[in-house]
A and B are shown apart, each in its own frame.
Chain A
Amino acid sequence: MRFAETGYNLEVDLSTGNVERVETDPRWTEQHLGGLATSSRILWDRCPPEVEPYSEENLLIFAAGLLVGTPAPGANRTVVTTISPQSLFTAYSMMGGFFAPELKHAGYDKLILRGRSPSLVYLWIHNDKVEIRDAAHLAGKGANETADLIRAELREPKAQVAAIGLAGENRVRFASIEHGRSSASRLGIGGVMGDKRLKAVAVRGTRDLNVARPAEYMELCNWVLKYIGIREQKPVPGVMPILAGLGSPQEMKLIDEEWHTTNFMWGNSRTRRRDFWTKEIEEKWKGTQESVRKRLVSCYNCPMKCGATISVPGVATYMMKCFSKLTYTMAAYSDLDFGFRIAQRATEYGVDAFSAPQVMAYGLELLEHGILGPADFEGMPADNEGRFYWLLDRIVRREGIGDVLADGTYWAAKKFGKAAEDLAHNNIKKHEQLPLKLGMLNPVYFLMYCTGEKSNITQIEGQFPQAPFATMAEREDFVKDWVQVPDEKFKKYLLDWELRGERSNPNYPTVEMSCDIVDWQERMHHIDDALGMCAGLGSFPLKPPYHIHNYPAFIAAAAGLDIDEAGLTTIARRNRTLLRALNVRRGLTRDDERPPDDHWKKRFPDLEQKLLDGYYKFKGWNLRGIPTESTLNGLGLGFVADDLKKRGLAIDDDHPSHGQDSAPADHPKAAS
């Protein structure tokens, strides 16, 4: 008997219509846990680097993590994995909501899709019964609209649906997959779903999920709830409001947006408006938010309320969470009412709310700079907000200029030459980043931005405060009950971290400390992503209920896997390294590992190279950022080493001989 997991994957070939229920190898659970990690393993085995994102060979995997569907609060994440049409590396985009638990109750840990359907279809999974159904009547429908129509035609109000909108159907490179209050948005996975001609997946499951040691597990789960209750009464003092509590940033709850609106950039990540937030704005935005927000809403089995039902007069009701509240508003230099209105349309179309607004603002910059002419924008209204609606409509239909912009800022810029490439200034690995431009380089963030396989900071950071506390008293207060630290040394790092002077950014935390801190944060994200635990209760917030010291007990009681902290750390390292190897095999090099040039005003090229060298070494990679043979073998990834060698990728350990050198310029590229 398998515990916590179902032990089966559902494999669907959309080209042939073949459907199989495949038993999984329990040894993979021991080696990787599940979720993102076992999906990476499948991609490694079955998606060689020659595979194009938009091809029959690319896989699209919906995975529920190991703990999903068990009573552990917050274990509800769906991890969608594929080859990204935007970065061309591995995409793993996650969503909360109700999809993954339903999939597990239907009897599957993963849904693995391959091929390409001859016509638009949707998939209906009802326990053992799996049907590929015609979706011609759903073509062009919005993502939420599609979910409603499917539930109605199946007469299954409890079916959980993940769907794409027009953007996915038209293979926009930043299209999302939408699921009610949640979406898997980043890196264009909705485009891959559209390329497979798959409009939606509906799932309904009514089977049991078992845990290995019920009483023990329940005690742990009860403790989590108790802790959440206490922690909610004790917000962390001295940090910005969105970082004080648990959950994902409480954008739906909080009204005070001084921090975002005066620190994040407006337009195409261009302008900082330090004086934007006034009493008058606060009153106006408060009015807007309170009038459109009908209810705060949760994901499956989680007491946090990170999302909200939004009902703006004149547009259909939808749900929103997190920072998408401000991305459209700020890209258009507009107000919150506009942000809530356009986000409804964007959600139905299914686009990434980080990328889409920047792409539209970028399009307007191309016009302002004369790189494109008025003819390219024929028919565009003159008013500011109208222009954004117009652009959004063009992009998701790939009409006119929208066809180019639908590829995102990086690929659009390639078509228009150097000047346009300079304007596409906010990318890492071809992927639009948070609209954030800062002063002094932060060494920890430098490393996370550069090396994160996610290419997206919000899924990498957490645990360690983003900035030092001003006074020693505040620091001492913070570390007092900081039980989540893997090692006492982290407390010292924080206690010694100053706002100014010798022990401040960029030289403090030191290279070595920065590697430690990044490693800890990554480790927690990789554990969460394998377990299907929401980062909002694990790897993202300060002082979360789930941490390195108690996770082994959860895993043991739920799945019957007896591992300790060291064992869990090794698994996380194995999983992180496998993901890195996947991307290395697809051509990722040290050159790709750089933040946008203007991310910080004050940059330190020598220090930055030392940071990268130090981090690679810490990880057991060579100076090219490639895991070395001994590292791979040590993690039981000998098959990865063999494959990389066969492809001519240098997995030698060059640290002792090269010392401080950065990567040689002639390093071989992967055959992609």
Chain B
Amino acid sequence: MDPTSKKRKKLVKTIRIDVDKCNGCRACEVICSSFHASPKYSSSNPERSRIRVIREPLRDIYVPVYAGEYTAAECSGRDKYTIDGKAYDECAFCRASCPSRSLFKEPDSGLPLKCDMCESDPPLEEPMCVQWCLNDALVYEEHEVEVEEEEGVEQGELELGLESLVDRHGLQKLMDTIARMKKKG
């Protein structure tokens, strides 16, 4: 081990998803959209939720999926799982906000959505989706790991949105627009 490297402790937040316990009520979607509304809890709309239940009752498919990274380009290939005889849709378990599908995008703007584990001040004991899942399909766990000290900060919501706008319109156009807006006051 390199004695000069700096270690720091990092908290890993995990949501354990037990699809067998999901009853498909979508309370997680409701409360997620509500928690992230501005002002907080002022509106609800599952389409804005950062967790979506892939739900096909007659095929007994219930998979809560969290919004993960935004990606400007879709994968070069796609996957399709069959588990216990149940065939899941293309890319079913993927968390990406991706151009190949409408999932995890703001319905009005199309800007990407990403789960932030209900970051708030003061911090919540558990993300809201977990608190609202009385059937324990979603269970929150955290543990510490030692990682190499890294520079940089977590990408915030605003940056995520801007990144997708840059991908769509180009950085120059975005900067021009912001400059123009600034001028207007």
> Which partner residue on chain A sits nearest B52 by CB separation?
A158
Chain A residues numbered 188-226 whose CB sits less than 8 Å from any CB in chain B: 206-211, 214-215, 217-218, 222, 225
In the complex, whether A442 has a CB less than 8 A from a CB of chain B is no
In the complex, whether B175 has a CB less than 8 A from a CB of chain A is no
**A225 touches which one: B34, B37, B134 (CB < 8 A)?**
B134
Pairwise interchain contact A298-B24, C-beta atoms closer than 8 A? yes
In the complex, whether A303 has a CB less than 8 A from a CB of chain B is yes
Pairwise interchain contact B41-A211, C-beta atoms closer than 8 A? yes
Q: By CB atoms of chain B within 10 A, which of A71, A210, A217 has the most?
A: A71
Known contacts A215-B40, A303-B134; A105 and B26 CB within 8 A of each other: no
> Which among B42-50, B70-78, B147-155 touches the partner chain?
B42-50
Interface string of A157-197 (1 = CB under 8 A from B): 10000000000000000000000110000000000000000
**B27 touches which one: A70, A148, A296, A301 (CB < 8 A)?**
A301
Name the interface size band of chain B.
20 to 34
Pairwise interchain contact A225-B132, C-beta atoms closer than 8 A? yes
In the complex, whether A229 has a CB less than 8 A from a CB of chain B is yes
Pairwise interchain contact A105-B30, C-beta atoms closer than 8 A? no
> What is the interface of chain A, defined by CB distance below 8 A to chain B?
69-71, 73, 98, 105, 144, 148, 157, 180-181, 206-211, 214-215, 217-218, 222, 225, 228-229, 294-303, 305, 309, 311, 316-319
Pairwise interchain contact B25-A208, C-beta atoms closer than 8 A? no
Pairwise interchain contact B44-A70, C-beta atoms closer than 8 A? yes
Pairwise interchain contact A71-B30, C-beta atoms closer than 8 A? yes
Interface string of B134-169 (1 = CB under 8 A from A): 110000000000000000000000000000000000
In the complex, whether B79 has a CB less than 8 A from a CB of chain A is no
Pairwise interchain contact B42-A317, C-beta atoms closer than 8 A? no
Assembly CA distance A45 to B45 (angstroms): 33
Pairwise interchain contact B23-A71, C-beta atoms closer than 8 A? no
Using Cβ atoms and an 8 Å threshold, which residues of chain A touch B129?
none
**A299 touches which one: B25, B44, B58, B131 (CB < 8 A)?**
B25
Assembly CA distance A210 to B132 (angstroms): 20
**B39 touches which one: A207, A214, A311 (CB < 8 A)?**
A214
> Which partner residue on chain A sits nearest B31 by CB separation?
A71
Using Cβ atoms and an 8 Å threshold, which residues of chain B touch A225?
131-132, 134
Measured CB to CB, the closest approach of chain A to B96, in angstroms, equals 18
Pairwise interchain contact A300-B57, C-beta atoms closer than 8 A? no
Q: By CB atoms of chain A within 10 A, which of B30, B40, B59 has the most?
A: B30
8 cross-chain pairs, A with B, having the tightest CB-CB distances, nearest first: A298-B25, A214-B41, A303-B134, A206-B47, A208-B43, A206-B107, A298-B23, A214-B42
Using Cβ atoms and an 8 Å threshold, which residues of chain A touch B45?
105, 206-209
Pairwise interchain contact A319-B57, C-beta atoms closer than 8 A? yes
Pairwise interchain contact B134-A218, C-beta atoms closer than 8 A? no
Using Cβ atoms and an 8 Å threshold, which residues of chain A touch B62?
295
Using Cβ atoms and an 8 Å threshold, which residues of chain B touch A208?
37, 43-45, 48
Assembly CA distance A300 to B23 (angstroms): 10
Pairwise interchain contact B46-A105, C-beta atoms closer than 8 A? yes
> Which partner residue on chain B sits nearest A229 by CB separation?
B134
Chain B residues numbered 14-67 whose CB sits less than 8 Å from any CB in chain A: 23-27, 30-31, 34, 37, 39-48, 56-60, 62
Measured CB to CB, the closest approach of chain A to B53, in angstroms, equals 10
> Which partner residue on chain B sits nearest A311 by CB separation?
B60
Q: By CB atoms of chain B within 10 A, which of A70, A214, A309 has the most?
A: A214
Measured CB to CB, the closest approach of chain A to B72, in angstroms, equals 23
Assembly CA distance A268 to B31 (angstroms): 46
**B25 touches which one: A215, A303, A317 (CB < 8 A)?**
A303
Assembly CA distance A295 to B46 (angstroms): 23
Pairwise interchain contact A303-B27, C-beta atoms closer than 8 A? yes
Using Cβ atoms and an 8 Å threshold, which residues of chain B touch A157?
56
Using Cβ atoms and an 8 Å threshold, which residues of chain A touch B107?
206-207
Pairwise interchain contact B60-A294, C-beta atoms closer than 8 A? yes
Assembly CA distance A302 to B29 (angstroms): 12
Known contacts A206-B47, A301-B25; A144 and B41 CB within 8 A of each other: no
Pairwise interchain contact B42-A180, C-beta atoms closer than 8 A? no
**A300 touches which one: B25, B37, B41, B134 (CB < 8 A)?**
B25
Pairwise interchain contact A302-B58, C-beta atoms closer than 8 A? no
- 6 intermolecular pairs with C-beta atoms under 8 Å apart: A105-B45, A206-B45, A209-B45, A211-B42, A217-B41, A297-B23
Using Cβ atoms and an 8 Å threshold, which residues of chain B touch A98?
26
Known contacts A207-B107, A305-B135; A218 and B60 CB within 8 A of each other: no
Q: By CB atoms of chain B within 10 A, which of A73, A217, A225, A301 has the most?
A: A301
**A180 touches which one: B31, B37, B57 (CB < 8 A)?**
B57
Pairwise interchain contact B30-A214, C-beta atoms closer than 8 A? no
New contact pairs (12) apart from A209-B45, A211-B42, CB-CB < 8 Å: A105-B46, A148-B58, A206-B45, A209-B44, A225-B131, A295-B23, A296-B23, A297-B57, A301-B25, A301-B26, A309-B57, A319-B57
Using Cβ atoms and an 8 Å threshold, which residues of chain B touch A71?
30-31, 34, 41, 44
Pairwise interchain contact B30-A309, C-beta atoms closer than 8 A? no
Assembly CA distance A341 to B41 (angstroms): 44
**B43 touches which one: A209, A222, A296, A297 (CB < 8 A)?**
A209
Pairwise interchain contact A317-B44, C-beta atoms closer than 8 A? no
Assembly CA distance A73 to B25 (angstroms): 10
Pairwise interchain contact A305-B23, C-beta atoms closer than 8 A? yes
Pairwise interchain contact A144-B58, C-beta atoms closer than 8 A? yes
Measured CB to CB, the closest approach of chain A to B32, in angstroms, equals 10
Pairwise interchain contact A300-B31, C-beta atoms closer than 8 A? no
Assembly CA distance A297 to B44 (angstroms): 22
Using Cβ atoms and an 8 Å threshold, which residues of chain B touch A300?
25-26, 30
Pairwise interchain contact B43-A317, C-beta atoms closer than 8 A? no
Using Cβ atoms and an 8 Å threshold, which residues of chain A touch B42?
210-211, 214
Using Cβ atoms and an 8 Å threshold, which residues of chain A touch B25?
298-303
Pairwise interchain contact B41-A317, C-beta atoms closer than 8 A? no
Known contacts A206-B47, A301-B26, A301-B30; A309 and B60 CB within 8 A of each other: yes
Assembly CA distance A228 to B46 (angstroms): 23
Q: By CB atoms of chain B within 10 A, which of A70, A217, A222, A303 has the most?
A: A303
Using Cβ atoms and an 8 Å threshold, which residues of chain A touch B135?
303, 305
Pairwise interchain contact B23-A318, C-beta atoms closer than 8 A? no
> Which partner residue on chain B sits nearest A69 by CB separation?
B44
Measured CB to CB, the closest approach of chain A to B91, in angstroms, equals 13
Measured CB to CB, the closest approach of chain B to A320, in angstroms, equals 12
> Which partner residue on chain A sits nearest B106 by CB separation?
A206
Q: By CB atoms of chain A within 10 A, which of B26, B39, B56, B131 has the most?
A: B26
Q: By CB atoms of chain A within 10 A, which of B23, B62, B132 has the most?
A: B23
Using Cβ atoms and an 8 Å threshold, which residues of chain B touch A215?
40-41
**B134 touches which one: A70, A228, A295, A318 (CB < 8 A)?**
A228
Assembly CA distance A77 to B46 (angstroms): 17
Assembly CA distance A240 to B6 (angstroms): 65
> Which partner residue on chain A sits nearest B56 by CB separation?
A157
Using Cβ atoms and an 8 Å threshold, which residues of chain A touch B41?
71, 211, 214-215, 217-218
Using Cβ atoms and an 8 Å threshold, which residues of chain A touch B60?
294-295, 309, 311, 317
Using Cβ atoms and an 8 Å threshold, which residues of chain A touch B37?
208, 214
Using Cβ atoms and an 8 Å threshold, which residues of chain A touch B48?
208
> Which partner residue on chain B sits nearest A298 by CB separation?
B25
Using Cβ atoms and an 8 Å threshold, which residues of chain A touch B24?
297-298
Using Cβ atoms and an 8 Å threshold, which residues of chain B touch A210?
42-43
Using Cβ atoms and an 8 Å threshold, which residues of chain B touch A222?
131
Measured CB to CB, the closest approach of chain A to B41, in angstroms, equals 4
Measured CB to CB, the closest approach of chain B to A296, in angstroms, equals 6
